[in-house]
Chain A
Amino acid sequence: MAKGLERAKELYENRGLRASELKDKGKKVMGYICCFPPIELITAADMVPFRITGSQEPITEADAYLETLMCPFVRSCFDQGIKNRYSFVDGIIWPHTCDNVEKTYDVWKRYVPHSFYYYLDVPHMADPSSFEFFTGQLEALKSALEKFAECEISEQKLVEAINIHNQNRNLLRQLSEFRKQDPPLISGSEMTQVMVASTTIPADECNQMLREIIEEVEGRNDGPEKKAARLLVYGCEIDDVGFIKLVEQSGANVVIDDLCLGTREYWKDIPTEGSPIRNLADHYLGDIKCPRTFLRATGTRQDDLDNRFGHIRDFAKDYNANAAILYIIQYCDTFEFDAPDVRDYLEQSGIRVLHLEDDYVMSNVGGIETRIQAFLEVISNV
């Protein structure tokens, strides 16, 4: 079996590889979409958490079921689903992330066969009452998973699962540290591969893979070359390396991100003291900074912006990124609405910004490339 980065690449290219093997051995595979379903519950129920992603393959079947004027990432996921690419997935947990994901659940449930469907309501607000409501939602999810997996998710099992996923996050943060050097020891596209791969296998196997990768990266001398620019990429779901590679080939290193398959997933650990379900609720609703979760403004406008976007500015500073690209998927409304604020906020912090809107598969790759090149030229002249 391949190891380390090679293993990640293999799993990235064939995402169902390990999950199908495990299914053949009698394990249940529980699919989920987006960052919001607590995968710790899946692990604690002794099932394999498997993240549903899209594909760069042209959408051919989804058009008959879903509108073209909605999030192309979700459409692509559905296209994969309707083409039976997820036939090894026993069930799915579908969170109320945004309008696109919320409404697609109904269509998915009707047309993509699984043995278990679960709609998880995630509040948009993050008030004390929202955390309480979400805790109730997670309790109900836990019961449903117990029934489906025919096992009890004891408090101890759940804490163990939280621990093992925390290790996962910790290892990803360690790996991320290698991006601070110039040139970074691991490229942005490799990092995306690792992220995608890590969502297709059980957490313990993932930890093993990440340890191998860390060892490999630490000692490597075939890492990325030094380039004129160090960039941060901000956006939602990037589950393909195409865009990041394009940036890297245009003369920049992508050294840090604020993405769903990126730091948004692994930046913060889940506490293990206290009620584990409540801790999950606090983490998924409180720690994941995605524009779909509303953060109430307190204080001045500047305080509000610091609260919403300060972490992006800090990432750029800590990783010595001199510019940022906002990669916004068209029709992803919550990101579309935040984009002007993110752009202005970062620019006011001295970080140059390129704001791109794309259709997820870069149909207009030439146009995007030209804009990236022009941007890199501008920032290298500063």
Chain B
Amino acid sequence: MYRGEGKFKTSARHWTETTKKVRGMLKDQYAGAHTTDKPVVWSMLAMINELYMAMDVYPLYPENYAGLCATKRVADPFLERAQADGFSDVCCTYAQTGLGYAAMCQDIGQIPDFAPDGGMAKPMMLVGSSLVCDTRFKWFQSFARYLDVPYYAFDMPIPRSMRPDTAMGYLNYTVEQMRGLVEFMERVLGKKMNWDKLDEIVTRTQKTYECWYEAFITSASAIPCPMPAEDTLTNFAPAFFMTGSEEALNFYQELLEEVKGKIERKEGVVPEEKYRLIWGSGLPPWHTMNVFNSVEERGAVFVYQCAYQPFAPMEIPGITDPLMRMLLGRGLPASRRLAREMPTEEFSLVDMSSPAFFIEPFKADGIVISMLRSCRGTSIGQTYLKRKIQEQAKVPVLILETDICDVHAHSEANVAARFDAFFETLESRKKAGAS
């Protein structure tokens, strides 16, 4: 049932030309790390790429690499290697892939030849953080089993209230933690941070984020939708992994132009959209991304995905500390900017991540949530969200049980059957609505 082009293919087919460039950009990033003079850092995503750029450090993101291994369906040996060392098979499979990779490199004294894109070049340092989940600082701590390089982890707690007194405490603490990272890099590299350069890069990021935000939101709002979730699940990458670079800025400018052109010409993924869907909370099954295309045959399109959403940059006049500017630039989720309001009472983190918010602005008919076996960070709260959305928004919600990298946690037959039932519900709702 999948739209494989030629040979059996499990990756997604993309609809925007700009998106097709991402694969090459990332390939270059991995390849470049083997030849660069710059020190290589392995980093967890914590939206601090600008710090690396300003310090002339070459970043690689093992979680992205793990996703790549899954897409190429070569994650298994890495998962097995990590498990052989005693890591549980329920640990985040990004982590297992990364740990297994590092362990295998140590075992054989070189990068395994099946590692995609030539593998990840050996790092000089590691950086993790507590943003999003516990795995993000624990996993990198475990790297010390295989890599004898300095490691810095920093805190990025999320406030549960935007009351200025509460929120400022969080912001100040996080900035102090980021300053700790700068000092760490200064120590390891034996050179000072160039704050002016950082400030310039942060300004470029803000522009990049504006284009990114506009491209994603206008596309999701447009009928027909020109850029579906399978595209945005790929083309978020420059914003995350190349933040602050000219390349990323150019990329989103181009993407925005393309999206605008398609909207003008009314070019949609599915010309007659029967159902508009949102890929709600949860990361996608990287090993089986053609699942997104599969719904298109039914006249449905995923107009938005909540896994990698654009930030809604905000500048507060008078704030000049580049670290604070960086933080504020990504402090606001897209839903809040669309709603033009910030909650001042204690809010629920789980509710804040709810896809329900996007139903109305994007005229969605249904929500699909991926519940990942190995990820507590994004999975806890999904049952509650489903309950709440069905009670309040009265939109059908489908929960798919799968995993990011472990293909064995994903049953294609089961997923297809779940989609069948889901589309039946959508269909009968449509009929009921029409009559």
Q: Which residues of A are in contact with B by a Cβ distance under 8 Å?
A: 63-67, 69-71, 96, 98-100, 102-104, 106-107, 109-110, 119, 121, 123-125, 127, 129-130, 132-133, 136, 140, 291-292, 294, 296-297, 301, 304, 328, 330-331, 333-334, 336-341, 343, 355, 357
Contact = CB atoms under 8 A, between A and B. Distances in A.
A297 B151 contact: yes
Contacts of B166: 140
Interface stretch (B67-75, B135-143, B226-234): B135-143
A122 B377 CA distance: 17
Contacts of B153: 124-125, 294, 296
B195 interface: no
Nearest to B409: A69
Interface string B133-161: 11101110110110010111111010110
Contacts, number: 142
B380 A340 contact: no
Given A133-B173, A336-B87, A106 B351 contact: yes
Interface in B326-365: 346, 348-351
Interface of B: 85-88, 90-92, 95, 130, 133-135, 137-139, 141-142, 144-145, 148, 150-155, 157, 159-160, 166, 169, 173, 176-177, 180, 346, 348-351, 371-373, 376-377, 379-384, 387
Contacts of A106: 348-351, 381, 384
Q: What are the nearest 7 A-B pairs in CB distance?
A: A340-B86, A129-B176, A106-B348, A103-B380, A337-B138, A133-B173, A106-B350
Nearest to B371: A67
Contact of A338 (B90, B138, B152, B387): B138
A98 B134 contact: yes
B185 to A, nearest CB: 15
Contact of A99 (B152, B169, B371, B376): B376
B383 A124 contact: no
A102 B138 CA distance: 16
Contact of A123 (B134, B157, B348, B351): B157
Contact of B169 (A133, A297, A330, A340): A133
Contacts of B152: 296
Contacts of B148: 301
Contacts of A343: 86
A141 to B, nearest CB: 12
B380 A100 contact: yes
B86 A136 contact: no
B173 A69 contact: no
A296 B144 CA distance: 12
